[in-house]
Structure formats: structure tokens, C-alpha cells
Structure 1
């Protein structure tokens, strides 16, 4: 378990989609929006963990068609969010806009995480490496490892939320012009992530 925790911590040092999404939502909607995004990502990871335990995610490993379908649906959703954020204009009143972002943050993060086939393949390929033959039943070990990853993930993304809020959130949300430019930047990030996902292959 210690080796698993150390490797996961090392992996967190490499920024991925979860990092960019969490930070961008925090900068756009504030701390609550960021925490809801972190929670959405954690719930998505938990669902992937359950899928890996029962073997459902093995379909993505063996079926090229299933992988391609999930991949392109996920990429399309990311690009849709990016285009929407890029063209969205700031309303006269800031509060409704921020509240809308908070309401959508959890759902968007959950859908993005669920539609990322790389996440399913990660759990399917990574977790079994730490299963011991002389330990608890395999399913129990996989579940424990997955829950450990989910807990570490939400702690990590929550820390990013508080750091982003302290370092830059208040500055970017003070004025409407800055918020407009921030929205365009977030849109570019989402579109880039969508394109990156679209060109991913099943072989890591």
C-alpha cells in the first residue's frame, strides 16, 4: 500500500485533465465551484473503480469500437464545453453567472471523468499491479486500492482549489473584462483537452 501511495503521489506531480479542469473552474466560479468539480472527478474515479473491480472496464481494453465510441463522445463533450465557455459573454450581474457555473461544475466534471476511456484503462491496468496473492480476496484488494486513489485524488484537487483561490481567484473575478478573457482561456483549455482525448490511442 505504501508503494501504491508513493507512486500515485508521483503521478499527481504530472498535470493532467483533472488538474486543468479543477483550476479553471475554480478561477471561473470560485472556491465552491472548484470543490464541486473536485467532488465530481472523485465520484467519476469511484465509478471507474467499481467498474474495474467487476471487470466491466475490460470491454474498453478488448473492444476497439467501444473505446473509440467513448473516446469521441468524451472529446466532443469537452470541445462543446470549450466552445461554450469561449463565446459566452459576461452578464450585467455577476452573481447569476457564477451560480450557474457552481451548479454545473459537479455534473460537468463527473461526465468528463466518466467519458475518459484512459481513466478506465488506468484503473484496469494499474490497480492489479499491487494485488498480493497471499492477501485479501482480489476484489477486496482492488476496491481498497481504488478507494485509496479516490481519497488521494479529492485531497489533491481540493488543495489545488484552495491554492488557486488564494493565489488568483479573487484577482480574476474582480472585474467583468478579466472574467471575459478568463472564460476564453478556459474555453481554449477545454478544447485542447478534447482534441488531446480525440487523438489518444488504446496503447498507453
Structure 2
């Protein structure tokens, strides 16, 4: 396993994106447990993209403008939905959360966020082959192994982000003005990510 792979993977997973924003929002609003669940959901959302890259389906997505655009704008719409939901859910950031958000809902939201990002498929299609020679024996198995490592690092890093958010939760949720700005920041982050995705080309 090359040092380049570890370093590249680390840089990629620690760079804030949709998954990080969602995981931190979960940790800040629902606590440590929710941040772990959100991290799991975001990590599972990577699986279809890696599977597509490994099996070669990404090549079709890369060459089909229509397929790319449909998936891209579905992702943009979902990010805007997350932004609106963040602004409207004023009961989420409270000390007394009577009803914690269902685990399944948190996981599904995390999966959908990453699933509806076609750039991930194309990214892995370009990323994984850099560390596996085309004529290398057991190339398929090695790509699966590299994918598993990428997912494990993603899960760990996202938990770190989520735990940090959860650790400062009690210090901010008792301040109404701070909560208002936090909701606005997260909503703005989702909107910004949606705009970036909308402007992304193949």
C-alpha cells in the first residue's frame, strides 16, 4: 500500500464537503450518537459510487451527459431540501430532545446525500486506477481493498467531525441567537454545496 494512497485519501476525506456538514449538523443538533449514525450513513452512500467505478459503470455515466445531468440536479434538489429543513427545524437544537430522530432516517439521509452526487462516481473512476496497474494480478481484489480502506478512513474522520460538534453542543444550544446563526450557517453550507454541484461539469 503506497504512502501516496494514504496521504491522498486522508486529504480527500478531511476536506469539508456535504458529508462533513451533515455529520456536524447531526452531532450539534442530536448529540454524539446521532453523529456516529450520520457518519455511517454518509459512508454507506459511497458504496454505490465505488461499485460503479470498480465495475466500470462510471464510464457510462462519464459519457452520458443526460444521465449525469439527471443525477446531478437530483442531488442539487436534495441539498436545497436539506437547507430548507435545517432552517425550518427550530426544535432540533435543544437540550431536551423528547424524540430523537430515528436511526433509519439519519442513515438514509446520509446515504442519499452522497448517492446523488455523480462527481463521486467519476472521482473514484479516476482515483482508484492510479494505485492499481491495469495488468496487475488481482487488480479487482486490490481495488476492493483500497475502497474498503477509503471508506474506513471516511467513517473515522466523519466521526471525528461529528464528535467535535457534539462536544460543543451544550455550550451553544442554550443561546438562542447562536442557534439561529448555526442553522443559517448549515443551511448556507448546503446551498453552497448545491450550487457547486449544479455548476459542476463532467
- Give yes or no for TM over 0.5: yes
- For 1:50, the equivalent position in structure 2 comes to 51
CA contact (8 A) 2:95 2:173 kept: no
TM-score by length of 2: 0.87
User: How far did 1:134 drift?
Assistant: 5.9
* Corresponding residue for residue 95 of structure 1: 97
**How large is the RMSD of aligned CA atoms in angstroms?**
2.3
Question: Alpha carbons of 1:10 and 1:187: their partners in 2 closer, same or farther (altered >3 Å)?
Answer: closer
Looking at structure 2, the residues matched to 93 and 171 of structure 1 have their Cα atoms a distance apart, in angstroms, of 10
Worse-matched range after superposition: 72-81 or 189-198:
189-198
Structure 2 residue 167 is matched with structure 1 residue 173: no
Q: How many residues align?
A: 200
Q: Could you say which residue in structure 2 is the equivalent of 1:151?
A: 152
Residues 196 and 154 (structure 1 numbering): CA distance in 2 closer, same or farther, change over 3 Å?
same
- Residue equivalent to 1:195: 195
Q: Is the 8 A contact 1:172 1:182 kept in 2?
A: no
Once the two structures are superposed, residues 74-132 of structure 1 have per-residue CA deviations (whole angstroms, 9 ceiling, x without a partner) of: 000010111121123328994246x1275532111100100011111111111011103
How far did residue 54 of structure 1 move?
A: 1.4
Change over 3 Å in CA distance of 1:115–1:41 after alignment to 2:
same
TM normalised by structure 1 equals 0.87
Q: Distance in 2 between matches of 1:179 and 1:50?
A: 39
How far is 1:63 from its partner?
Answer: 0.6
2:139 aligned partner: 138
Instruction: Give ranges in structure 2 of 5+ residues lacking alignment.
Output: none
| Unaligned residue ranges in structure 1 (runs of 5+) | none
